[in-house]
Structure 1
Amino acid sequence: MPRTIDYGNLMHRAMRGLIRDVLLDVQDNGLPGQHHFFITFDTMHPDVEIADWLSDRYPDEMTIVMQHWYDNLDVGEDGFAVTLNFGDNPEPLYIPFDAIRTFVDPSVEFGLTFKTQDDDGEDDEDEIELEEVEVEDEAPREADIVSLDSFRK
């Protein structure tokens, strides 16, 4: 089989690196201005670390919000740890970057969506969609999406 450039996986790694860089900046300097994040992740990822009651309540995916209160943000090479408040109950979480399904900063209408597809029975491939997000009542709405599928053969 001839060698090809795997743009999909290269873009996947680059976008995960972008999320890491953003979180490193927040770790060092805090959230600037009105910036805040909605991060949806796969709770079944083998390296996710969350309390049992959270995994029972969110058996597939969970969305966290980093905005007014978060603590102990520690960004590593493969993921990040953060303590968030759930009903006045602080809970530590560890989320690998590979577990992230969406990363949205509605304050600047920026969002990334990572989807895994297994339509043709081959190995799962990650598809990355870049989206502009508008905010209504602090929740992301549907927006224009640019799919990387158009760059694949």
Structure 2
Amino acid sequence: MSGVIDYGSLMHRAMRSLIQQVLTDVAETGLPGQHHFFITFDTLHPDVEIADWLSDRYPGEMTVVMQHWFDNLNVTDEGFTVTLNFGDSPEPLYIPYDAIKTFVDPSVEFGLRFESQEDEDNDGAAPAPVELRHEPAIVEEKEEAPKGDAEVVSLDSFRK
């Protein structure tokens, strides 16, 4: 034992396990009530699998919405696959938990944000702890925006 408890890594593992459990429940029984998810992930993560046109359009990070229509949700210990609709074009995605930057369920004002080592100026220390947020600040690109012209929209304006 190193003599130091690595709380940051323990929290990351626990929160990713929480996401896995939530997605497993949704895969088995569907989304309950008004629940829906905004999941932002690193499109450059080596294990992410998305269509080339999506990685070209979102070079760095992408936010997907799981709400009204999604299909083929399959959850594993390392990540999940899901088919989402992009302008009447269903596309399968594979998102490993390690690529997730934020996981938000705005219906209950629940959100997780994962800090990466690049976000911290800690000279190689363990990953920063997860931050729980009651009022998540998530932005999403509008689907109507022409390729290359992103418009950022704050979801806070749609809160009840």
What band does the TM-score fall into relative to the shorter chain? 0.7 to 0.9
User: TM-score, normalization: structure 1?
Assistant: 0.85
Q: Is the 8 Å Cα contact of residues 101 and 113 (structure 2) preserved in structure 1?
A: yes
Question: 1:125: Cα distance to partner?
Answer: 1.9
Question: 1:3: Cα distance to partner?
Answer: 1.2
Question: 1:127: Cα distance to partner?
Answer: 3.2
Query: Partner of 2:22 in structure 1?
Result: 22
- Structure that is richer in strand per residue: 1
Whole-angstrom distance in 2 between the partners of 1:21 and 1:127? 19
CA RMSD of aligned residues (A): 2.0
SS at match of 2:23: helix
Deviations 1:41-61 (A, max 9, x none): 000000000000000000100
User: TM-score, normalization: structure 2?
Assistant: 0.81
Query: Partner of 1:79 in structure 2?
Result: 79
Distance 1:124 1:51, change over 3 A: farther
Query: Partner of 1:89 in structure 2?
Result: 89
Q: Which runs of 5+ in 1 are unaligned?
A: 142-153
Question: 1:9: Cα distance to partner?
Answer: 0.6
Q: Is the 8 Å Cα contact of residues 49 and 94 (structure 2) preserved in structure 1?
A: yes
Task: Report how many residues are paired.
Answer: 139
Alignment of 1:1-153 (within 5 A): 3-116=3-116, 117-123=119-125, 125-133=127-135, 140-141=155-156
Identity across aligned pairs (percent)? Answer: 67
Whole-angstrom distance in 1 between the partners of 2:80 and 2:108? 22
